[in-house]
Amino acid sequence: MRSRTPVALVAALVLAAGGLAACGDDDEDTGASPPPPAAAQTETTGAAGGGGGETVEVAADPGGALAFQQDSLTAPAGSVTFEFTNQANIPHDFKVEKDGEDVGGTEVVTGDTAEATVELEAGEYTFYCSVGEHRQEGMEGELTVE
């Protein structure tokens, strides 16, 4: 009979200690919320305009014409994220240049969306598609950074 009591007592103590440890972990997390997913943080930052960053949406012609839906864009100086949408079945990208030098742009996408974040100073820029002869066919526009 003696051997049963210590085994039962040890088992009860182990279970109680495990339960208290679990409660202790919950207390440490009280009041702390998990960080939002990275995509949500990017969207929130761009939408709110706070914390350094602006999101500018630009799209290729969804019907497949070699054109952007916008002829001109405006953005504030600083860190700007361009969200480029190409719903067409023709590959396109979105590039930004100033004085003939590329300053940033997206990857080539077909039927998809891509983003590029670019540091911009105030001034006049050109945006264009660098795929094939798309730019020469008129797929470009003016970007004013204020």
pLDDT in tens, 8-49: 444 444 444 444 444 444 444 444 444 333 332 222 223 333
Domain ranges for the chain: 1-34, 38-145
Q: For the chain, where are the E strands, in sequence order? A: 54-59, 72-75, 78-86, 95-98, 101-105, 112-120, 123-128, 140-145
Residue 13 backbone dihedrals phi, psi, to 5 degrees: -65, -40
pLDDT in tens, 98-144: 999 999 999 999 999 999 999 999 999 999 999 999 999 999 999 99
Total-model pTM: 0.65
Could you give the CA distance from residue 83 to residue 98 in angstroms, rounded to a whole number? 19
Architecture of domain 38-145: Sandwich (2.60)
